[in-house]
Amino acid sequence: NAGVTQTPKFQVLKTGQSMTLQCAQDMNHNSMYWYRQDPGMGLRLIYYSASEGTTDKGEVPNGYNVSRLNKREFSLRLESAAPSQTSVYFCASSEIGGEYFGPGTRLTVT
Amino acid sequence: QQPVQSPQAVILREGEDAVINCSSSKALYSVHWYRQKHGEAPVFLMILLKGGEQKGHEKISASFNEKKQQSSLYLTASQLSYSGTYFCGTETPGNTGKLIFGQGTTLQVKP
């Protein structure tokens, strides 16, 4: 089992460019999440999906969109990247109990 | 509202004990604890549910005081591998499934 996988691992964007971060899990979990982590800020929830076909906003959804493509996959899209979106992005999944995190995507917006 | 963790940082020698606290201004449904090593993803340690049920690892324990809206993580006889940043994540009734994380407590265990 790979657990939670994320692509890409690193990305550099110019202001205004768009990109999609991909996430997949093979644990048959219903719930999936996108977080961003900034130094000294802990983890902040961007969007989450309680089940296939549903999504809901978290603490910091502005500037992002998500798609729950199927039970396994949950993608995060930045339509017009801004320097304030420079961060480490983590995807996670859960069933009943704790959340399991992917390795993260380190995104820099210049 | 983000839960508040204390202390912000702690340095221990191997074999010493530590307590990390997590305090919320809202009533809680559950508290999760995670550990993150530098450059890695957070790793789930345990969950404490309203009503007292506890899950998690044997060597690290935690308590949940629902009335005080607080949780504490206890690390006894610390090992070098305990080093990292510890985060609590809280769920509130009506927002189950959404975790709000504290700012983290950095723990360093020295030989």
Q: Which residue has the tokens 């000294």?
A: A40
Give the minimum alpha-carbon distance from B40 to chain A in angstroms, rounded to a whole number: 6
What DSSP designation does B82 have? G
To test the contact with chain B by mutation, choose from A36, A38, A43 the residue with the greatest count of B C-beta atoms within 10 A, namely A43
Give the minimum alpha-carbon distance from A56 to chain B in angstroms, rounded to a whole number: 10
Residues of A in contact with B101 (CB under 8 A): 42-44
**b/e sequence B79-99, b meaning 16+ C-beta within 10 Å:** eeebbbbbbbbbbbeeeebbb
> If pLDDT is split at 50, 70 and 90, which confidence band does B97 have?
confident
Beta-carbon contacts of residue B62 (< 8 Å; ≥ 6 apart): B31, B33, B45, B46, B48, B54, B56, B71, B72, B73, B74
Cβ distance of B32 and A102 shorter than 8 Å: no
Cβ distance of A102 and B41 shorter than 8 Å: yes
Tell me which residue of B80, B58, B59 sits closest to B14, measured CA to CA. B80
Tens of pLDDT, residues A13-70: 999 999 999 999 999 999 999 999 998 778 999 999 999 989 999 999 999 999 998 9
Cα separation, B12 vs A94, whole angstroms: 32
Nearest to B42 among A44, A58, A101 (CB): A101
Burial of A18: CB neighbours in 10 Å, binned 0-12, 13-18, 19+: exposed
Residues of A in contact with B100 (CB under 8 A): 45, 59
Residues of A in contact with B44 (CB under 8 A): 97-100
- pLDDT at residue A48, rounded to an integer: 94
Nearest to B44 among A43, A45, A100 (CB): A100
Other CB atoms closer than 10 Å to residue A107's CB: what's the count? 20
The answer to whether the peptide bond before residue B7 is cis (omega within 30 degrees of 0) is yes
Tell me which residue of A51, A25, A47 sits closest to A34, measured CA to CA. A47
A88 in reach of chain B (CB within 8 A): no
Tens of pLDDT, residues B23-64: 999 999 899 999 999 999 999 999 998 766 555 566 788 989
> If pLDDT is split at 50, 70 and 90, which confidence band does A95 have?
confident
Asked whether the beta carbons of A100 and A32 are under 8 A apart, the reply is no
> If pLDDT is split at 50, 70 and 90, which confidence band does A11 have?
very high
- pLDDT at residue A68, rounded to an integer: 96
- pLDDT at residue B53, rounded to an integer: 55
Q: Which residue has the higher pLDDT, A90 or B98?
A: A90
Other CB atoms closer than 10 Å to residue B54's CB: what's the count? 12
Cα separation, A49 vs A61, whole angstroms: 13
Give the minimum alpha-carbon distance from A44 to chain B in angstroms, rounded to a whole number: 7
- pLDDT at residue B37, rounded to an integer: 96
